[in-house]
Amino acid sequence: MAGVKQLIEAANTQVPKITPDEARALIAQGNTLVVDVRDPNEVAASGKIAGAVNVSRGMIEFRADPQSPYHDPNFAKDKTVIVYCASGGRSALSGKALKDLGYERVLNLGAFKDWAAAGEATEKA
């Protein structure tokens, strides 16, 4: 039986990791959705990537599935989706869930603190 460590390792084989520089370039190209999968209280405390939508890890499948009554229209399968969290674990698992739902271009930015430390744009939630 797999533990969370094994689940994250498996997710990391399916969802490529990217750097803040790579994420910034993709965001600049457009047609990119940035998703913060931390809980709302974490986002309120630290802010989020400018323009990102906050969908906590527990709701990602519901927001991303067009058939769900909780679907968020920001999610579209023709977009590149960049996910991040506090350390990279929840974003890896969220990225794999999106891949399982048919999203093809899903990337894991990993930790919000790395984006902020690189001096990239953030905003208060």
- Judge contact between 71 and 82, C-beta under 8 A: no
pLDDT band at 1 (very low <50, low <70, confident <90, very high): confident
Topology of the domain comprising 4-123: Oxidized Rhodanese; domain 1 (3.40.250)
- What is the model's pTM? 0.95
| pLDDT band with cut points at 50, 70 and 90 for residue 125 | confident
Encode pLDDT of 73-115 as tens digits: 999 999 999 999 999 999 999 999 999 999 999 999 999 999 9
Please enumerate, as own/partner, the contacts of 18-22 that have beta carbons within 8 Å and a separation of 24 or more: 18/82, 18/107, 18/108, 18/109, 20/109, 20/114, 20/115, 20/118, 20/120, 21/118, 22/107
